[in-house]
Amino acid sequence: MRYFTFILALLICNVLQAQTALTAEELLERAINFHDPNGEWSTFNSEFVVRMETPKSEDRTSVISLNVPRQQFGLMVEQNGNQFGFKFDKQQCTTSLNGSSEISEEQRKEFRLTCDRGKIMRDYYTYLYGLPMKIKDPGAVLDDKVQTKTFKGKEYLVLKVGYEEGIGNDVWYFYFDPKTYAMEVYQFYHDESKGDGEYILLQGLEEVNGIKMPKTRAWYYNKDDKYLGTDILN
């Protein structure tokens, strides 16, 4: 019995060694091949719905439309009986509230309906729902080393990604299943020495326009594991 246990442990060790022998670029390509097997992201043109659940707020439903080649983005949010959102055609921005483009300054402040805010939301949704493909964007700095980490009791292959000045300031870690290369966790720090930032647990898959996107994303603080909310792809 001890002999078989030893052989099993040896086999597992050999598998992990082979996996960690992957270069960062190779691991990224395998992860992209899992999530976007037919290379659909560059021509992505679709609409999807995300419901956000947070502990102390009413659920928020967001309809996101994204046309990557035409650089078009739309976000329409429904919450507390109101509908508001943004539309971008390249850099041209429009806003609306309950079907009207006539919005008072007081309403803009209440609903955060500015084009600067819209750009943040555009970049947020395009980045998160375009992962792991977005790691290949210009300005992303992929660390050469593939790390092996245990997170919440499971061992992962991990990529570390930083960004050039002017692109982003956060440091990101992306956790991939060592067998399938599915992305199951990501984590970011504003200042890693302080242990700030958040981690996001991904569960389930939903296919949208040929791309396997995480069904749910549950957000937590790195420091104290405090739960922040969950995004659910409908």
What pLDDT shows up at residue 138? Answer: 95
Banded model confidence at residue 56, pLDDT cuts 50, 70, 90: confident
Residue 18 confidence (pLDDT)? 52
**Residue among 96, 93, 73 at smallest CA distance from 85:** 96
Listed in sequence order, the residues at least 6 apart from 43 whose beta carbon sits closer than 8 Å to its beta carbon are 68, 69
Place of tokens 């996107």: 213
pLDDT of residue 202: 98
CB 189 within 8 A of CB 177: no
Record the tokens describing residue 47, joined without a space. Answer: 């609409």
Could you give the CA distance from residue 136 to residue 11 in angstroms, rounded to a whole number? 33
Distance between CA atoms of residues 34 and 38, nearest Å: 9
pLDDT at residue 8 tops 70: no
Q: What is the pLDDT of residues 165-213, one digit of tens each?
A: 989 999 999 999 999 999 999 999 999 999 999 999 999 999 999 999 9
Structure tokens at 85: 């959102």
The mean pLDDT of 37-66, rounded to a whole number, is: 96
Residue 234 banded pLDDT, cuts 50, 70, 90? confident
Q: What is the chain's mean pLDDT, rounded?
A: 93
End-to-end Cα spacing for the chain = 48
Tokens of 165: 């000045």
| pLDDT > 90 fraction of the chain, expressed in percent and rounded | 89
Cα 143-149-150 angle, rounded to 5 deg: 160
In sequence order, the 6+-apart residues with CB closer than 8 A to the CB of 160 are: 142, 143, 145, 147, 171, 172, 173
- 21: pLDDT confidence band, cut at 50, 70 and 90? confident
pTM of the model: 0.88
CA distances from 44 to 35, 71, 118, 126 (A): 13, 10, 20, 11
Q: What are the structure tokens assigned to 68, written together?
A: 């990557």
pLDDT at 4 over 60: no
Closest CA to 41 of 61, 10, 67: 67
- CB atoms < 10 A from the CB of 189, how many? 18
